[in-house]
Amino acid sequence: MFHNKKHSLTSGAIIMIAMRWIDRLVGIVSTFILARILVPDDFGIVAMASVIVAFADIIFDLGINIALIQRKNPSQAYYNTAWTLRILQTATVAAVLMILAPFAADYYKDARVTAVIQMMALSLMVTSFENVGIINFQKDLRFVDDAKYVLFKRLVMFVMTIALTFVLQSYWGMIIGAFCGRLAATIRSYMVHPMRPRFALSEFGEIFGISQWVLVKNISSFLDRKMHIFLVGGLATTRITGGYTLAAEISDVPGTDLLAPINRVLFPAFARARDNLQELTRLLLRVQAIQVMVTFPACVGFVLTAHEFVPVALGEKWVFIVPFIQVLALSNIIQSINSSANYVLTVIGKMRLLALTSWIQLGLFSTGAFLLRHDLTPERIAQLRMGAIVMTFGVSYSLLMRNIPGLTVRMLARGTGRPLLGCLAMVGALTLLEAEVAAPNWLMLLLKVATGVLVYGLVVLGLWRLAGRPDGAESYFLNKLKRPAPAAAAAVPSEVK
């Protein structure tokens, strides 16, 4: 039974992940184009408003998607209640935002924030009417349908945002473009799925029973991800806030954004295996090894090429964000390792433990910020965030091992040794290259990327051969390269060493 599920998961997920990466690529390209058209001050206005809007949205988030995916056979009444709750939740958020917008502008010392927050609130209301039936794309592992829908939304938003920003030469192009993308996606959701939800609250009690700890976890996770941006917005200029926010977004690319498509597949996959701990453990080890193999060199490489990447991709006006990118990208290495563990804890119903972990990390960051409140700078805020992430690194895995019998540190570490040594070799090679070669930024960037890929690949493959070619991430990727996609589905390693 699980063999068939794994085969279906892997073969379908290959296409879905590729499409989701295309979606992320479109978003990244959009960011780079907007960075060329706009100035840091424009990004600052949008960033300031986005933090307030997202925080208000998360406070009232009932975790409806998780409740629907975890429920094995939800009735139509369950879907109707979920859809109704989402609309009520968003209407509450929109009303709160309309009231708080002027106060947010006072905190940021910029009156332009008020109108932007209010427009974003309207965008949230549009999204709340999205067809709840599209959740079944994830629930039923219909990866291609899910990816097509998300990609449609991204492309509409991309075209509208770039066109409007180019015409208006203002941050309003980003705001209105996002609104158009959300509206188009909501309409499209009723075209791609036949479900027609109605207003109902008959299943409120059961959904809320699942969602209350999701809500606690979401609030802490949001604060952990956005509190540093909020603090920067309060103590720095709009220009610095815009630069810091763009740095945070770009820093997510090599770690979080590379994993986002995989993680979207993982949650329903883990959910299906939650009653078989042996299978769940096997899936966790396999996925973690593959994630580490990709994200370790991507994040480290991004840190080492930031000085060349920023002026080439964004322009000289953004060079001041290089230190932000380097610190935040390092933080994402730890975040990427924790992602699969967090998904497993979620599907086995340990949301309280996840919430506790998030609050511990947030508490450490807040304590550091309070102690250094008279000497805070954007650079120091980024460093505090990284420190809090590092100090809570082991908490998630400690909780995971307590709840997954048989899982050990040795098993978890098997997939990290070779990538770690490969990264160390890459750091040495790029440091030597930078000391010995003088070249324009674009050429140095190409040389660093080529050298990093070559050195990392050779070291990892060499260590893998010396270890006797065990099943692991290396064999997984080599099989993908050697075989057609359908055959590769059977090549997923059963155990990571």
In three-state form (DSSP H/G/I as H, E/B as E, the rest C), the secondary structure along 34-102 is HHHHCCHHHHHHHHHHHHHHHHHHHHCCCCHHHHHHHCCCCCHHHHHHHHHHHHHHHHHHHHHHHHHHH
Cβ contact 20:218 at 8 Å: no
Kindly tell me the sign of the dihedral angle through the C-alpha atoms of 464, 467, 469, 471.
Answer: negative
Give the residue numbers spanning the domain of 165.
Answer: 2-415
Does a structural domain hold residue 466? no
Residues in the chain: 497
Would you say residue 471 lies in a domain? no
Q: What is the DSSP string of 111-141?
A: THHHHHHHHHHHHHHHHHTS-GGGHHHHHTT
pTM above 0.85, yes or no: no
Residue 86 lies in a domain: yes
Determine the longest span between alpha carbons in the chain, in angstroms.
Answer: 70
The reported pLDDT for the residue numbered 486 is: 41
Angle between helices 277-313 and 473-482 (to 10 degrees): 70
Nearest to 261, CA basis, from 15, 2, 4: 15
Burial 137-148 (b: 16+ CB within 10 A, else e): bbbebbbebbbb
At 448, list the tokens: 């660093």
Q: Which residues of the chain have pLDDT under 70?
A: 1-21, 23-24, 56-67, 69-72, 141, 143, 205-218, 254-269, 271-272, 274, 349, 351, 480-497
- The structure tokens listed for 2 are 């699980």
* pLDDT of amino acid 235: 83
Question: pLDDT of 296-348, one tens digit each?
Answer: 898 899 899 999 999 998 888 899 999 999 888 888 777 777 777 777 777 77
Give a yes or no: residue 485 inside a domain: no
- Within-domain flag for 218: yes
* Residue 130 lies inside a defined structural domain of this protein: yes
- At residue 433, the pLDDT reads 93
Would you say residue 483 lies in a domain?
no
Distance separating the N- and C-terminal Cα atoms of the chain: 25
List the helix and strand counts (H, then E) for the chain: 21, 0
The count of structural domains within the chain is 1
> Does residue 373 sit in helix, strand or coil?
helix
Domain assignment present for residue 133? The answer is yes
